[in-house]
Structure 1
Amino acid sequence: MTIERPTSNNDTETLKTYRAQLELFLRERGWERRDCSRCERQYYAKGVSQNCGDSTCCGSFEFLQDVRRERSLTLPGLEIVVRNHFENAGFELHPPKSILNEGGTTLFTSAGVQLLDDWVLKDANPPRRPLYVSQPSVRTQHLDSIGEGNSLSFVNICTEVANATPETHFVNLDHWLDCLSRLGLYVGDITLHERRLIQQWGDVTLKSEIIAIFYKGLEIGDGNYNYGFTPQASNATFISDFGFGLERLAWILRKGSYFDGVGPLSESLKGNSVLQELIKTLTLLSSYGLEPSNKDRGYRFRLFAKKLVALTFPEHCVVFPLASYYYNYWKNFADLLIQQDLVVDIIQREYDRNYNQRVNLLLSAKSDPNCPTEEYLLKLLMSRVSRDGIAQILRGN
């Protein structure tokens, strides 16, 4: 696949060309413009539809009631199918960026398009070939809204094309729709929504024409055509950026709970989604060498561990089984930098410190919390804190 460089950097002309290519794509592929009977927004559909496909208008995630037999793949197996599709289409496989996003504009990598940071923000040359990447991502704004379809950390499967024309962008949309169909998602159940945003990428402002892609109540991904980069000092011109949540695609194929695909089932079947997400995210962060501190990334790590203690207390959580499970989970998508036993130790130490601090607070004690909880409890007893008082707290009384 070759990339045709746009001949104009004029925003008005770019938008005009984009709109013309959108109309051509819709007409040639049989997509019809419709008005949602619920929210009255315009959307595009191929099959019979009464609403725009957003869960607020569907009233539920309709795919969960789908009786059609879908393919049930593991997350790594699903990613391999997608990866092979785009490699065969001429995309270069690109390694994911570090989750710690060194040199970027956010604390953590939150989307695959950030692999273009050095081009947009610095003097690096753009990639000459279209790229495919499976990017482990963290979005801290989801910390208090973890639920079905919404996770703190996930795999963002993406295609990124620098200097892409609008025509190339819609060729890429075709690739994605074909890929989704091959996975078992019926294109007649897909709806497309248009959005338009002005966004910030560090100190750079850009315009985005967005096509959000919904499947029977669930937004599964979107395609951003980014242009109008200012200040002009930025090297960036045009970017075709498509990103999909791998776990959301797996949920559609597996049904059940979103967190069944994340696993382990021994936790998701008990409804322990927040526990799953916190330990999964802490494992990802510590696998790249992050340790707790009182500022920036380390503070977020400490915040997640504190929330984990609040979730499990007065039970004391031994993180080894889940942290080991999630270490192998992330190893499917990235070359992790820290050994598994060290990762488990980093998480357990910070969990114990927060757990011990909570006991200190409830007992009005001043014992040093910076040690394993078993050692901490022994020190409490040795300092003549009431055994019955400690026991009552650990029983939740």
Structure 2
Amino acid sequence: MKNLYQVDLFEEKGFTRKQCPLCKDYFWTLNPDQVTCGEPPCTEYTFIGSPPTSKYKSLASIRSAYIKFFEKRGHSHVKRYPVVARWRDDVYLVGASIYCFQPWVTEGIVDPPANPLVISQPCIRLTDLDNIGRTGRHLSCFEMMAHHAFNFGKITVYWNNETVRLCFDFFTEELKIPEDKIVFKEGMWSGGGNAGEDFEVLIEGLEVATLVFMHYRQENSKLLELGNYIVDTGYGLERILWLSTGAPTLYDALFADILPEARKMLGIPEPDPSIMSTLSKYFGKIDASKTDIEKSYREIASLVGMSTEELKSTVIPLENIYAVLDHCRALMFMIGDGVVPSNTGTGYLARLLIRRAVRKLRALSPDVSLVDIMSLSLKYWTNIFIEYKDLVDTILEIVDLEEERYNKTLKKGEALVKSFIRKKLEKKEKVRTDDLIYLYESHGVPPDLVEKIAKKIGAEVKVPQNFYELLAQKASFRKIEKEEKIPLDQKLLEGESETIPLYYKDPYLFKFTAKVLKIINGKYVILDRTAFYPEGGGQPSDTGFLINKHGERIRVNYVFKVGNIVVHEISPKDSTKLEEGELIEGHVDEQRRKQLMKAHTATHILLGALRRVLGPHVWQAGAQKGVNRSRLDITHYKHLSLDELHKVEMLANKIIQENRKVHVSIEERTKAEQKYGFVLYQGGVVPGKTLRVVNIEDWDVEACGGTHCRYTGEVGFIKIIRSLRIQDGVERIEFTVGEKAVEYVQKMERSLKEIADTLGTPVEDVVHSVAKIYEEYRELRRENERLKEKILEMSKDKVLEKGTVLGEFFVIVHEIEATEFRDLLKLAALIVKEKPNAVTLLYSRRNSDAVYLILLGKTASKKIDARELGQEIMVIAEGKGGGKIDMFNGKGQYLPEHMLRNKIVEKIKTLTNVNKG
């Protein structure tokens, strides 16, 4: 291939290729005086305060100009994709515009939505999380404007020459930037599984675009020729805005309309622009995540003539509010596109941003919540991205709930961290980065809080400057799930023909004829065609039987699929009843299949109802269809109320009564995505050029490989049994359908009738009667507790009589009959209240074991640790227990009172200076 860096434009215009003396990279320029490559740290920003263009000064005007420029030059404008990459199984979020077309378009499997095309794609990239707010330029959320061309086989659109010319013309003709200010720096780019040579486009020190000539596939760190030639460009909308305004930082340009209000809310004064300009230029020349930040602040302070502390008091609050505004913008896209904060996947990344934003806000003001800033942010950004206007309340509710949960987590976290660090100190171990990650992920405790607590107890904790970047990198890529183990060596199927799936052609076909192609290991039967549905997509396989030429029945126990071959599992004892090459008659269990078809159709109906009742953030997180019961797992930020479940159930059954048509069609992937949107992938990523689309008329549409009813009316009835919170951010709906749903309701009805009969009351009065009985029960229990209190008070005096004085301690060892542990605790509490110097051991027999409680009075607990006494007892009782300095409880073998008394007295003497003779 011709050197991709040598393009016609450079020759026509007289560009010179030079090597940067600092980074040693090559670049092309029209400026004869240009020495360095034009990119920091080799070159400083020179546009701040003196922009090279001012034709457009808003995101909207730059975006519009860009799209129109490329539309005039033959590109079709393609609507933006969601930021959640639901069509991919390798990444969670869209990190560049090309992600929208990987892998299906870039691999040549499907056609692009247009060719060539222009797009302005919001992206989420968390690899520089710790730099956001500090460097003046880094963002977690940015809009990548791009023009793409896909050259497949004989189809040639354009390649490197035209790409460079289009870029050059946009900046010089549309933005009116002088030609000699544009530098093209040679490089190599990779991302999303592909790679290629590239040009970084630099103007006055700022990278504003990247032009990639993609023709490699990345596999195991190797570059393999893709066979296709793809123009992959990315123009930074926010960076071009910064270039056009010459603002001190990118944040001042991007958030110009909301930054003053945010500063006012937080009491942050407007900074001296020269300080922020110096900061941007300084951090533009270094990698902030790998630099000693304190040293950087000292150097910047020296440059602006301030003390380090004075500088920090000025810029750190601004760094924090910049980061919070950035995170709020990212969260609008993420939550708006269906992300529910959780501890896994995209939910983990959303929670990471929320918690980081909360911590930064706390450093600014305890009175301003993240919801306050989020509300300000949404008010502005939803006027630009109007598709999120109707979701504002939901987004704010989710953020508010997350902030509330996090604040509770932080309150609990301090004691946990103290205990964790003390154990480390006891073992003479340091708190490592892995420990900080554990404390954050398992307990929600941020590293700065760990560092603060550690200082209080005399420990040193070093927090990596790129801590949040490490977390984001760890969670940004999908873990490839292990494929379910197939009970058959796939090599045994090599060379076999694909099975014709009759169950797709006619899901109501329960009887068919087929030819036996192969019998493997005496139990696996391959037919040339089949009506038996193989297990997949959460739908169990069909069962039934085969009839051979002699009229004998062979039971089909299980059906599975290997590639496009359907395998029928039979009992080995029946293998002699079949011969390869013979014609058989297949019979599918009709009742089972119909019930599973109803369950699968009902899953789609329920999902549509859940999205309408709860909101479009609801996505399927898993499903399992069953004959008797089924389940649907959804993403949602809180447990469903009974009222919500009733609304969903009512709406779902309304769709059944309307008897809507269920359309099934095979559609080309790109066209299906354009027609229906990415809600197609509710059930997960579906491979291939075409999609099998199941569309319940004006209700739900998904790419799905299951069997379904022709009309919703065939489902009959959906009854939701219950909902469960199976994990953070995921709710499980258990339901039953059709006749099984009716059977379930009848069973509940019988149970209700039995309760009514037992109470001697009509069914309609059961609730009132049960409430009345429960109240009577509660009153009796309260009376019982009052009597117990009196008995315990009387017992206290008797127990005190058995106490003995041991030096300055009053020792009590006593066995009592107690049905509950709390009775032991109450009695012990009464004793130590009266005797602050008491060392009390009470215990209660449980068959051959006993429950032990040691409680110390206030005076005694200052000199003895209850845990040391308790562990001594557990050794001889061969038991286990735990507690704190003034209380210990455990369980072990039953021991006689005299043995316990002797052991306690002996241990007290060992631990103190009490008479040891």
TM above 0.5, yes or no, is yes
Indicate yes or no: 2:182 matched with 1:168: no
Is 1:210 the counterpart of 2:198? The answer is yes
Structure 1 residue 213, shift from structure 2 partner: 0.7
CA distance in 2, matches of 1:82, 1:92: 12
Q: What secondary structure does 2:352 align onto?
A: helix
* 2:2 is equivalent to residue 16 of structure 1: yes
Match among 187, 192, 199 for residue 184 of structure 2: 192
Asked whether the 8 Å contact 2:53–2:243 carries over to 1, the reply is no
Q: Structure 1 stretches (4+) deviating beyond 6 angstroms?
A: 230-236
Report how far residue 158 of structure 1 moved: 0.5
Cα distance between partner residues in 2 of 1:226 and 1:193:
16
> Does residue 238 of structure 1 match 2:229?
yes
Partner of 2:77: 93
Does structure 1 residue 319 correspond to structure 2 residue 367?
no
Tell me whether 121-130 or 148-157 shows the greater mean CA deviation. 121-130
Is residue 57 of structure 1 aligned with residue 42 of structure 2? Answer: yes
Instruction: Find the counterpart in structure 1 of residue 397 from structure 2.
Output: 345
* C-alpha distance in structure 2 between counterparts of 1:40 and 1:153, whole Å: 31
Report the AA paired with residue 251 of structure 1.
W
Q: Does the C-alpha gap of structure 1 residues 334 and 168 become closer, same or farther in structure 2, counting only changes over 3 Å?
A: farther
Q: Which amino acid aligns with 1:224?
A: V
Match of 1:123 in 2: 109
Q: Match for residue 124 of structure 2?
A: 138
* Kept in 2: contact 1:71–1:253 (CA 8 A): yes
* Equivalent residues of 2:51, 2:243 under 8 A apart: no
Contact kept, 8 Å, 1:287 with 1:339, in 2: the verdict is: yes
Matches within 5 A, 1:233-272: 237-256=228-247, 257-263=249-255, 264-266=258-260, 267=262, 271=318, 272=321
Q: Secondary structure at the match of 2:145?
A: strand
Q: Distance in 1 between matches of 2:3 and 2:224?
A: 24
Give the CA deviation at 1:35. 2.7
Change (3 A) 1:331 1:138: farther
- With over 3 angstroms needed to count, the CA separation of the structure-2 counterparts of 1:239 and 1:310, relative to structure 1, is same
Q: State the TM-score, normalized to the length of structure 2.
A: 0.35
Shift of 1:308: 1.4
Please give the per-residue CA displacement for 1:284-305, whole angstroms capped at 9, x wherever unaligned: 1111121111101001111111
Q: Is the 8 A contact 1:308 1:351 kept in 2?
A: no
After superposition, where does 1:288-367 map in structure 2 within 5 Å? 288-313=337-362, 315=366, 316-326=368-378, 328-329=380-381, 332=384, 335-336=387-388, 339-362=391-414
Query: Could you say which residue in structure 1 is the equivalent of 2:814?
Result: none
> What corresponds to 1:103 in structure 2?
87
C-alpha displacement of 1:254: 0.7
Q: Distance in 2 between matches of 1:280 and 1:140?
A: 13
Higher mean displacement: 333-342 or 290-299: 333-342
Q: Select 1:276's aligned residue among 310, 318, 325.
A: 325
SS in 2 for 1:119: coil
2:168 alignment counterpart: 177
* SS, match of residue 240 in structure 1: strand
| Matched position secondary structure for 2:2 | helix
Q: Is the 8 A contact 1:160 1:241 kept in 2?
A: yes
* Cα 1:42/1:122, change in 2 over 3 Å: closer
Q: How does 1:368-387 map to 2 (within 5 A)?
A: none
Aligned residue number for residue 393 of structure 1: none
Mapped partners of 1:328, 1:83: distance in 2 = 23
Using a 3 Å threshold, how does the CA distance of structure 1 residues 278 and 43 change in structure 2: closer, same or farther? same
Change (3 A) 1:312 1:200: closer
Q: What percentage of residue pairs aligned between the two structures are identical?
A: 18
Worse overlay, 43-52 or 150-159: 43-52
Aligned pair 1:73/2:122, yes or no? no
Deviation at 1:103, TM superposition (A): 2.1
Secondary structure at the counterpart of residue 237 of structure 1: strand
User: Which 10-residue stretch deviates more, 112-121 or 155-164?
Assistant: 112-121
* Higher RCO (Cα < 8 Å, 6 or more apart): 1
Residue 149 (str. 1) matches residue 137 (str. 2) = yes
What's the CA shift for 1:320?
A: 4.1
Residue 341 of structure 1 deviates from its aligned partner by 1.5
The separation in 2 between residues aligned to 1:172 and 1:130, in whole angstroms, is 11
List gaps (5 residues or longer) in structure 1.
1-14, 372-397
Letter in 2 for 1:84: K
Partner of 1:44: 28
**1:287 alignment partner in structure 2:** 336
- Report Cα offsets for 1:334-388 as digits up to 9, x if no partner: 8449611111211221122112321333478xxxx999xxxxxxxxxxxxxxxxx
The 3 A distance-change label for structure 1 pair 342 and 230 is closer
1:158 alignment partner in structure 2: 146
TM-aligned CA distance change 1:184 to 1:318, over 3 Å: same
Structure 1 contact 101–108 (Cα < 8 Å) conserved: yes
Maintained 8 Å contact 2:95/2:125: yes
In structure 1, distance between residues paired with 2:202 and 2:176: 15
8 Å CA contact 2:196–2:215 kept in 1: the answer is yes
Mapped to 2, the partners of 1:212 and 1:69 lie a distance apart of: 19
CA contact (8 A) 1:96 1:136 kept: yes
Question: Which one-letter code corresponds to 2:352 in the other structure?
Answer: L
| Deviation sequence 1:204-238 (CA, Å, 0-9, x none) | xx440111111111111111111144789998611
Larger strand percent: 2
CA–CA distance in structure 1, aligned partners of residues 118 and 16 of structure 2: 29
String of CA shifts for 1:296-346, please: whole Å, max 9, x gaps: 100111111111122122614142454453465266358449611111211
Q: Which moved more, 1:351-360 or 1:297-306?
A: 351-360
Offset, 1:71: 3.0
TM superposition shift of 1:259: 0.7
Counterparts of 2:120 and 2:60 in 1: how far apart (Å)? 10
2:215 equivalent to 1:227: yes
- Look up the equivalent residue of 2:259 and give its one-letter code: L
Query: How far did 1:261 drift?
Result: 2.5
Cα distance, 1:120–1:323 mapped onto 2, change above 3 Å:
farther
Question: Conserved in 2, the CA contact under 8 Å of 1:208 and 1:224?
Answer: yes
Q: In structure 2, do the counterparts of structure 1 residues 23 and 159 end up closer, same or farther at CA, with 3 Å as the change threshold?
A: closer
- Stretch moving more, 298-307 or 23-32: 23-32
SS at match of 2:130: coil
**Aligned residue in 1 for 2:761:** none
- Indicate how the Cα distance of structure 1 residues 219 and 69 shifts in structure 2: closer, same or farther if over 3 A, else same: closer
Contact 2:78 2:114 in 1 (8 A): no
Matches of 2:112 and 2:53 in 1, distance apart? 42
Distance 1:128 1:303, change over 3 A: closer
Query: How far is 1:246 from its partner?
Result: 0.3
How many residue pairs get aligned? The number is 346
2-structure distance, mates of 1:172, 1:121:
21
C-alpha deviation, 1:17, in angstroms: 6.3
Query: 1:134–1:333: 8 Å Cα contact kept in structure 2?
Result: no
The CA RMSD measured in Å over matched residues stands at 3.0
**1:45–1:239: structure 2 CA closer, same or farther, 3 Å change rule?**
same
